C-alpha cells in the first residue's frame, strides 16, 4: 500500500484512506516557478503510484496558478499528466484525497505531501526530460538544485539509459523477477521514493545475472512510475 509522510504531523499515513476507492490528488500551485512545477511533478508521481496500485484518481490544480496555461504547458513538457481545474466541478475523488504543495502553512484538514524548493526559481527547461530526472534524483522533501552541471549530468544519464533500453529490447523478453518488482514497488510506495527506484535500476543495469530481456522489462515497468520515456529510442537507427 502506498504511504506518504503527512507534512501536518510528520507521521506516515496511507495515501488512499480507502484502498482502491476514488482519490482526489490536489496540486496546489500559488505561482509559476520551479517549485510550483515540482509540485505538479510530485502530484504526477502520486497519481502514477496510485494508478499502479489500482486506485482511480481525480487530479486537480488549485491556487493562483490554476488558470496559468504556461505552467500547465511546462508541466506537460516534463511528462506530468493533465490536471483539471478544481473550480470546474466535483470529480469521483471529492470525498477523500491528498494535497501536494510547497508551503504547508495553513494546510487544511487533508493529508499533505510537502515539496522542497527548487533553485534557481526559474530553471532552464530547454531539456524537460533532463529536468524531470534531476528532480527525481532528489527526494521531493529536499531542496533541488537545477544548475547547468546537474542538468548536463541528467542529459548524459538519460542518453545512456535510453541507448541501453533500446539495445535490451532487441533480445528475447524475460519476465520481471518477483524480487526486483517487489523492490521497485516498495520504493515508490514508501513516500514516493524516486531516488530509491533509480537506485534499484542502477543495480539492475549492471547485474551480470540478469538477462537483457529481463532488464528491458524491468526498466519499462519502472518507467510507468518515473515517466522518463526510457523506451523512447527503441527502433531508432544506431
For residue range 117-153, list pLDDT tens digits in order: 999 999 999 999 999 999 999 999 999 999 999 999 9
Q: Is 57 exposed, middle or buried (0-12, 13-18, 19+ CB in 10 A)?
A: buried
What's the pLDDT at 167?
A: 97
| Model confidence pLDDT, tens digit, residues 90-100 | 555 445 789 99
Other CB atoms closer than 10 Å to residue 117's CB: what's the count?
A: 15
The sign of the dihedral angle between the CA atoms of 82, 223, 46, 31 is: negative
Q: Which residues of the chain have pLDDT under 70?
A: 17-20, 87-95, 104-108, 237-238
Strands (E) in the chain, as ranges, are 3-5, 12-14, 23-28, 57-62, 84-85, 97-101, 111-114, 118-119, 144-145
Q: Which CATH architecture has domain 151-226?
A: Up-down Bundle (1.20)
What pLDDT sits at residue 103? Answer: 75
Q: Which residues contact 112 (CB under 8 A, 6 or more apart)?
A: 6, 7, 8, 98, 99, 100, 101, 104
CATH 1.20.120 placement within the chain? 151-226
Cell of 30: 500559488
Answer whether 197's CB lies under 8 Å from 226's CB. Answer: yes
DSSP state of 127: S
pLDDT computed for residue 235 by the predictor: 85
Q: What integer pLDDT is reported at residue 150 of this predicted model? A: 97
pLDDT the model gives residue 88 = 59
Q: How far apart (Å, rounded) are the C-alpha atoms in residues 114 and 141?
A: 6
Give the phi and the psi of residue 13 in degrees, each rounded to 5. -135, 160
- CB under 8 Å to 67, separation ≥6 — which residues? 85
User: Could you tell me if 24 and 110 are in contact, meaning their C-beta atoms sit under 8 angstroms apart?
Assistant: no
Q: Which residue has the cell 530553471?
A: 123
pTM of the model: 0.94
Amino acid at each position: 500500500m502506498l504511504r506518504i509522510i503527512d507534512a501536518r504531523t510528520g507521521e506516515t499515513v496511507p495515501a488512499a484512506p480507502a484502498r482502491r476507492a476514488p482519490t482526489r490528488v490536489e496540486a496546489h500551485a500559488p505561482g509559476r516557478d520551479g517549485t510550483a512545477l515540482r509540485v505538479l511533478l510530485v502530484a504526477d508521481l502520486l497519481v502514477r503510484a496510485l494508478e499502479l496500485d489500482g486506485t482511480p484518481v481525480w487530479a486537480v490544480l488549485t491556487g493562483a496558478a490554476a488558470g496559468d496555461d504556461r505552467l500547465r504547458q511546462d508541466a506537460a513538457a516534463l511528462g506530468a499528466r493533465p490536471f483539471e481545474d478544481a473550480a470546474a466541478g466535483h470529480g469521483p475523488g471529492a470525498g477523500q484525497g491528498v494535497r501536494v504543495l510547497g508551503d504547508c502553512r495553513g494546510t487544511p484538514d487533508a493529508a499533505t505531501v510537502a515539496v522542497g524548493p527548487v533553485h534557481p526559481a526559474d530553471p532552464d527547461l530547454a531539456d524537460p526530460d533532463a529536468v524531470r530526472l534531476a528532480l527525481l534524483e532528489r527526494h521531493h522533501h529536499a531542496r533541488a538544485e537545477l544548475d547547468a552541471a546537474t542538468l548536463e549530468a541528467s542529459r548524459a544519464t538519460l542518453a545512456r539509459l535510453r541507448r541501453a533500453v533500446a539495445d535490451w529490447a532487441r533480445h528475447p523478453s524475460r519476465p520481471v523477477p518477483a524480487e526486483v518488482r517487489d523492490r521497485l514497488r516498495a520504493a515508490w510506495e514508501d513516500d514516493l521514493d524516486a531516488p530509491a527506484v533509480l537506485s534499484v535500476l542502477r543495480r539492475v543495469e549492471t547485474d551480470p545475472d540478469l538477462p537483457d530481456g529481463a532488464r528491458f522489462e524491468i526498466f519499462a515497468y519502472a518507467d510507468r512510475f518515473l515517466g522518463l520515456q526510457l523506451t523512447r529510442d527503441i527502433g531508432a537507427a544506431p
